[in-house]
Amino acid sequence: MTSAANDPNGMSQRKFVLATDLDGTFLGGSDEERRRLYSWIEDNRATVGLIFVTGRDPKFIGDLCRERGVPWPDYAVGDVGTTIATVSPETGVAPIEELEQEISARWGNAGERVRARLDGHPGLTLQPTDFRYRVSYDIDSESFDAAAWDIVLEMGFQPLISDNRFFDVLPDGVSKGPSLRRLVEYLSIQPERVLCAGDTLNDLSMLECGLPAVAVGNSERELVRRVADLEHLHMAKAHGAAGILEAIRAFDMHELPEGY
């Protein structure tokens, strides 16, 4: 396929692409800080591309943009990297089958098997959403038995704990970072034009994947420790949306109005 066929939104021609986590990052900061970032994006759509890279599912992304005035992204890497999709107000979130084939193959309809193996495991409460290529739990940190980690590895899957609140079971080798890199390559976007932004451990693979990156000021302490030595990463002082703007300035990735 030609890059034009892969990229009907023209992302490869945008000067700057923001690839951002949602909770605590794009949705973090004060109302005014979010308004400032969102307005700047909408005013510069010709030169700014937007990719949501999130643990949230497609329905959440669509509802968020329709109901809360959040800018529609051009693409989404959702479900902690197990969904790779185009996004628009007209079609909602539409998975890109070509990019999801390997994810599907690695998962192999394992949801029922994983749920059965972890049923009743101390400290895990199954999340009600029926995800396609992952199983996710809420953690009770007081009663959680870390043996769940080894159980998942023995099954041939990838465990992920973030914010000491969530336990995800993912296909081996699949997470936010690898899926974002595949999307960037698929769309023929120059890697140095992409800024990754996150705040918790489920963003670690994205912040480590070699693209310019920012850990916003309200980041989880363990994430800050893990990314402290990354030369391509800006450790922001400002929280959430303001931290993203801080990193755009620090890397000089796009012009910003005075005072942003």
pLDDT (tens digit per residue) in 156-208: 999 999 888 999 999 999 999 999 999 999 999 999 999 999 999 999 999 99
Average pLDDT over residues 25-30: 98
Question: Does domain 103-171 sit in CATH 3.90.1070.10?
Answer: yes
Strands 92-95 and 166-171: unpaired
Report how far residue 119's alpha carbon sits from residue 258's, in angstroms, rounded to the nearest whole number.
54
Report how far residue 194's alpha carbon sits from residue 176's, in angstroms, rounded to the nearest whole number.
14
Strands 83-88 and 124-126: unpaired
Q: What is the pLDDT of residue 1?
A: 43
Task: Indicate if the pLDDT at residue 79 is higher than 70.
Answer: yes
Percent of the chain topping pLDDT 90: 90
Instruction: Count other Cβ atoms within 10 Å, centred on residue 96.
Output: 17
Strands 157-162 and 92-95: unpaired
Which structure tokens are listed for 151? 């159980």
Q: Which residues pair with residue 159 across a beta bridge?
A: 169
Percent of the chain topping pLDDT 70: 98
Average pLDDT over residues 49-68: 94
The pLDDT-based confidence of 95 (bands split at 50, 70, 90) is very high
Q: Domain-by-domain residue ranges, the chain?
A: 3-97+174-251, 103-171
* Sequence-ordered list of residues with C-beta below 8 angstroms from that of 14, at least 6 positions apart, any chain: 46, 47, 48, 49, 189, 193
Q: pTM higher than 0.85, yes or no?
A: yes
Task: Indicate if the pLDDT at residue 216 is higher than 70.
Answer: yes
58 in Cβ contact with 78 (< 8 Å)? yes
The pLDDT-based confidence of 78 (bands split at 50, 70, 90) is very high
How many residues are there in the chain?
260
The pLDDT-based confidence of 52 (bands split at 50, 70, 90) is very high
Strands 124-126 and 157-162: unpaired
Task: Indicate if the pLDDT at residue 209 is higher than 90.
Answer: yes
CATH number belonging to domain 3-97+174-251: 3.40.50.1000
Instruction: Count other Cβ atoms within 10 Å, centred on residue 155.
Output: 16
- Stretch among 8-17, 22-31, 227-236 having the lowest mean pLDDT: 8-17
CA-based nearest residue to 211, from 14, 20, 83:
20
Sign (positive/negative) of CA torsion 173, 243, 161, 84? negative
Task: Indicate if the pLDDT at residue 123 is higher than 60.
Answer: yes
Strand, coil or helix: 8: coil
Q: What is the pLDDT of residue 259?
A: 80
Strands 48-53 and 75-78: parallel
pLDDT (tens digit per residue) in 98-121: 999 999 999 999 999 999 999 999
Strand, coil or helix: 250: helix
Task: Indicate if the pLDDT at residue 234 is higher than 50.
Answer: yes
**Alpha helical stretches, state H, 69-136:** 97-107, 111-118
